[in-house]
Structure 1
Amino acid sequence: MNLYTINTGYFKLDGGAMFGVVPKSIWQKTNPADENNMCTWAMRCLLVEEGNRLILIDTGIGNKQSEKFFSHYYLHGDDTLEKSLASHGFGVDDVTDVFLTHLHFDHVGGAVVRKGETLQPAFKNAAYWSNQNHWEWAVNPNEREKASFLSENILPIQESGQLNFINVSDQANFIEGFDVKFVSGHTESMMMPLISYKGRKILYMADLLPSVGHLPIPYVMSYDMFPLTTMSERKHFFGEAAENEYILYLEHDSVNECCTVQHTEKGIRVKDTFTLADI
């Protein structure tokens, strides 16, 4: 198995929204804000090459939304999904599977492209993977979350016939060495890949752990639908990661790509930070 970091660019979100009830005087030490209280976040995806499968985990925000939409998120950086794939010798047509942790716009936007007046999957040769619980949650969104579920990012996948569902279970196996964990604090049935790689386990954190600055259990985002559920899930997975020396792959940390965690007197805290290439 080969793993490749896929950087798709950076965006900004309000620091207070990202840290919930945690005071700015605390969170700004790890995630400094600009004059508008906005912090920079990565949209870091992961490419898994295993046999004849080339699996892309998440797709970033894409480029098909309006200028007004993008103006709210201050996109910056030179990375794009296509450029990052190319840097590893791949193109969009080489991808066999697109694994979507969940369907919020900053994770699924690059899965669909606009060509002329039509919307179509960006990866014409790929099977797209979600799960039934989350799909129904996304296409029938609640009032609070519906701004994150954009129909133009989601429905063309189903209309193309490329949509597939993973069974929601505690030990879902996607392929050999690639299991799926399900959590529902951030949004219903978000999927987190657990990948065996070079004798280690890598847990793709999606939005359960946006950055190392979010490691204390109560540091829950305002974007989470069920904060107490998130805290319970974080306690479980952070503890499991510390006990088993998992590598945590961070999708949104603008500085740190991977980390390990450890038990301390103050609870679970970061142990080491490094890049995927360092493993």
Structure 2
Amino acid sequence: MQRAMSVEIIQGENDQVAGFILMPSGWAEHESGIDRLLRWAGIRLVSDPEGIGSRSADEVPLSLDFHVTSKVRLAGSRKHHKVAVLQIGPSTISPRAHFLEAKNQLCGWWDQAGFAISAHGDAIPHLQALAEAIRVPDLAIWLGGAGGNPFARDGLVIAMPSRVRAEDKAQMLASDRARNELKRDALATGIEQKITERHTAMKGSGFRSSYGFFALAPGRPLRERVGLPNPIETQHNVMFFLNPHDQNGVNSGWFTVEELEAWLKGKGPALKSNWQRPERRPTTAAAPAP
């Protein structure tokens, strides 16, 4: 496991601590998913979760370990401290001095298979409350970073659902449903499958394909866009942001389904040969008044 940049507390109902967010610090282990971690935590894998219930544990994780150690020397302090450690997963974390600093009452680690949180001082009761909740089980885990919900910050979220504010749960559920509805609408257009099939067929035939993409992300229709034709006209309730492999021949930006279908026919503004973005002219300072 690799150390989190910081550990933030989630405030819940009645000013209780509802959980923790372990902030990422750039390690590859923080960008490799958490499927194994969820299995170790007793949480079912759900492809399109809706609400905190679909991210919650069904059983008490057998790998749960919570212990309190006395007389731990912390970095930046000459005193010995009482330290609590909670961990789930196959790895173990030792509360040794070089892992903890006296100035940080909470430290965290995680990877794709497990997590650990250590606490000292006033933070020990918060970690003990989490350990007791996990034994119920009253535990939910997910990766943050999804816009539109109250846990949109990047990082590993470890929460006690019974303590999460009702309004935060409702906002999370609404965000999930909106995202899943968008995914269904995007899938119904069939455009991603058409583009992928064209790209695969051309590569399989030995031809250079201009239909590969780094991203083809759905979103709701825009009112207007920069550098591409306006007004936007579409019969679909979804558009796609295209980031193509062929940066020389294909434009990037938001396109309608109709424009992407035109791209497959060698037409439309997705092709730079059909639509050149207006050049941005450098701004010049106004001449001083005489």
- Shorter chain as denominator, the TM-score bin is under 0.3
Q: Could you say which structure has the greater relative contact order, defined with CA pairs below 8 angstroms and 6 or more residues apart?
A: 1
Task: State the structure with more CA Rg.
Answer: 2
TM-score, normalization by structure 2: 0.22
